[in-house]
Structure 1
Amino acid sequence: MDLTIVGCGYLGLALAERLQLRRPQLRLTLTTTTSERLEQLSPLADRVQVCDATDPAQLLDALRQSSSAVFCLGPKGDRQVDTNGYRHTFVDSFRCLMSLLPQLPNLRQIVYTSSCSVYGDAQGGWVDEETPAEPGRGHGDVLLESEQLLSGISDRRVCILRLGALYGPGRELDRRLRGLAGVERPGNGASYSNWLHVADAAGALEAALDGEWIGVVNVVNDEPIRLRDLVGKSLQRQGLAPVHWLGHDEPGSAGRRIRNTRLKQLGYELQHPNVDQSGVFSASQVP
Structure 2
Amino acid sequence: MELTIVGCGYLGEAVARQLQTRRPALNLTLTTTVTERHAELTDLADQLLLCDATEPAQLLAALQHRRTAVFCLAPRGNRRVNADGYRQTFLESFRCLRSLLPDLPHLRQIIYTGSSSVYGDADGDWVDESTAPAAETEHGAVLLESERLLTEMGGCKRRVCILRLAALHGPGRELDDRLKGLAGRERTGDGRSFSNWVHVHDAAGALIAAMDGAWSGIVNVVNDEPIRMRNLVDRSLERQQLEPVHWSGGPETSGNGRRIRNNRLKALGYRLQYPMLDGGRAECLL
- Specify the TM-score bucket, using the shorter chain as the normaliser: over 0.9
CA distance in 2, matches of 1:251, 1:49: 43
1:133-144 equivalent positions in 2, closer than 5 A: 133-144=133-144
Please give the residue correspondences for 1:263-278 in structure 2 after superposition, counting only pairs within 5 Å: 263-276=265-278
Map of 1:26 onto structure 2: 26
Residues 127-183 of structure 1: CA distance to partner in whole angstroms, max 9, x if unpaired?
A: 000000003123222111110110111332000000011001111212221111111
Runs of 4+ in 1 over 3 A off after TM superposition: none
Alpha carbons 1:64, 1:104 under 8 Å: kept: yes
Which residue does 1:285 correspond to in 2?
Answer: none
Which deviates more, 137-146 or 118-127? 137-146
Contact 1:129–1:218 (8 Å) recurs in 2: yes
Gaps of 5+ in 1: 279-287
- 1:173 maps to 175
Long gaps (5+) in structure 2: 281-286
Partner of 2:184: 182
2:283 corresponding residue in structure 1: none
Residue matched to 2:99? 99
DSSP 3-state at the match of 1:149: helix
Q: CA deviation at 1:273?
A: 0.5
Distance 1:78 1:272 in 2: 25
Residue 234 of structure 2 aligns to which amino acid in structure 1?
Answer: G
1:199 match: 201
Q: Percent identity?
A: 65
State the Cα distance separating 1:243 from its structure 2 match: 0.8
| Amino acid paired to 1:245 | W
Q: CA deviation at 1:80?
A: 2.5
Report the alpha carbon displacement of residue 277 of structure 1 after superposing the two structures with TM.
Answer: 6.3
Residues 196, 223 of structure 2: 8 Å contact kept: yes
Matched, 1:225 2:257: no
Contact 1:114 1:160 in 2 (8 A): yes
Alpha-carbon distance in structure 2 between the residues aligned to 1:78 and 1:142: 19
Shift of 1:65: 2.5
Deviation for aligned residue 1:40: 1.4
Q: Choose which of 229, 252, 255 in structure 2 pairs with 1:253.
A: 255
Separation in 1, partners of 2:9, 2:237: 29
Correspondence 1:4-15 to 2 at 5 A: 4-15=4-15
Take 2:250 and 2:236, find their aligned partners in 1: how far apart are those partners?
22
Contact kept, 8 Å, 1:32 with 1:51, in 2: the verdict is yes
1:73-88 matches, within 5 Å, as 73-77=73-77, 80-88=80-88
After the TM superposition, which of the residue ranges 167-176 and 219-228 deviates more from structure 2?
Answer: 167-176
Residue type at the aligned position of 1:137? T
TM-score between both structures, scaled by the size of structure 2? 0.94
Match of 2:67 in 1: 67
Q: Aligned-pair distance for 1:184?
A: 1.0
Q: Is the 8 A contact 2:238 2:244 kept in 1?
A: yes
**What count of residue pairs does the alignment treat as equivalent?**
278
Q: CA deviation at 1:78?
A: 7.0
After superposition, the CA RMSD in angstroms is: 1.3
Amino acid at match of 1:133: P
Match of 1:213 in 2: 215
Deviation of the 1:55 alpha carbon: 0.3
- The more displaced of 135-144 and 39-48 is 135-144
1:252 Cα deviation after fit: 5.2
User: What is the Cα deviation at residue 224 of structure 1?
Assistant: 0.3
TM norm structure 1: 0.94
* Distance (Å, rounded) in 1 between the aligned partners of 2:115 and 2:251: 23
What's the CA shift string for 1:167-225, capped at 9, x where partnerless? 01111212221111111111000000111001100100000000000000000001101
Partner SS for 1:111: strand
Residues of 1 paired with 2:241 and 2:202: CA distance? 30
Q: Distance in 1 between matches of 2:108 and 2:37?
A: 28
Q: Secondary structure at the match of 1:30?
A: strand
